[in-house]
Amino acid sequence: MPIVSVVIPTYNAEKYLQRCLDSIATQDTEDYEVLIVNDGSTDGTEKIAEDFTAKNPRFRIINQENSGVSVARKNGVSQASGKYIWFIDSDDFILPGSLAKVVALIKDFPETDTFYAPVMIREEANGKEWVKSYALTTTPEQSGKDYLKLKPVSVCPVQFVFRKALMGNPWVFFPEGLRHEDEYFCRVLQYYSPSMYILNEPLYVYCQWSGSFMNTCSIQHLYDMVEIYKHLYRFVEEGADPEDRPWLLPDIFSFLVSTHFWYMDLFHTPEFKVFRRVNISFIRKEFQKAAPYIPTKEKLMDQLMLSYPNLLATLLRLKS
């Protein structure tokens, strides 16, 4: 039985999939399996996956109708036989020795539920690379809940190698049919990880390219963020311990108010004005719930953004 099951959701990734698979197949360990979940691709993705799995017995392909990344990840986990799961996106790749390092850590710390590592960001247009900011800690071993309290909050699932059994918790899932599903999953995964091990070096290369999700935005993203926040709020109210509300509520509200902070370039559009008209009362109501726990400086910024978004956007642009 493999120690780690790598789950790769993929959709129309013919340009990058081979590189991703090669980066795993050349790792210097055998304690793994790879499940490539083809989410109804219409390009050459399925052919690449089939050719690769025919030559590499540790790799297998799962074909599904186009259902989105959340369903693809769920289906991959359901067929995984490893004790631990590592999600890898098909347009990214892992660094040499990364998988062997993960396997060695699992063997050295068998009671640990989740392993976390920062990621290397790579700009595909120019090859520039740097390590993304992550929550620094002097203690590599701690509870996931304690790590979740630190800033910045880590909400990229590829940074976590976690015990498969954690997804048996009904609160630990990817909301389906919504963008920003990672914001929910990663917070709840950490919260329910009794023990975490934090590495201080990257294992994974996260590639940014002009057509990727993180480099495109639309008004629909904002509506999805509101729905993800509702999932998070239900978790805080029903799944989390009441004593954790003072730090959980400011964190999840910071995600909700980022519908404004992240998308200031859209303020002038008619679509954003409609979004604001539909949602601003709800966002202000949620702000009142979180406000008692938000630090004063952040609270003032939130109040300005909710009441005078164009003014604050102008001030921030002048400052930068």
- Summarised one tens digit per residue, pLDDT across range 220-269 is 999 999 999 999 999 999 999 999 999 999 999 999 999 998 888 888 89
The confidence band for 217, taking pLDDT boundaries of 50, 70 and 90, is: low
The confidence band for 125, taking pLDDT boundaries of 50, 70 and 90, is: confident
Residue 211, pLDDT > 80, answer no
Third-level CATH fold of 4-214: Spore Coat Polysaccharide Biosynthesis Protein SpsA; Chain A (3.90.550)
pLDDT for 214:
42
Residue percentage of the chain with pLDDT more than 90:
87
Cβ partners under 8 Å of residue 316, min gap 6: 264
Check if the beta carbon of residue 141 is closer than 8 Å to that of residue 196. Answer: yes
Single out the residue of 201, 295, 281, 218 nearest to residue 249, CA to CA.
Answer: 295
pTM of the model: 0.94
Mean pLDDT of the residues in the chain: 94
Residue 210, pLDDT > 80, answer no
Q: Domain boundaries in the chain? A: 4-214, 217-319
pLDDT in tens, 130-184: 999 999 998 999 999 999 999 999 999 999 999 999 999 999 999 999 999 999 9
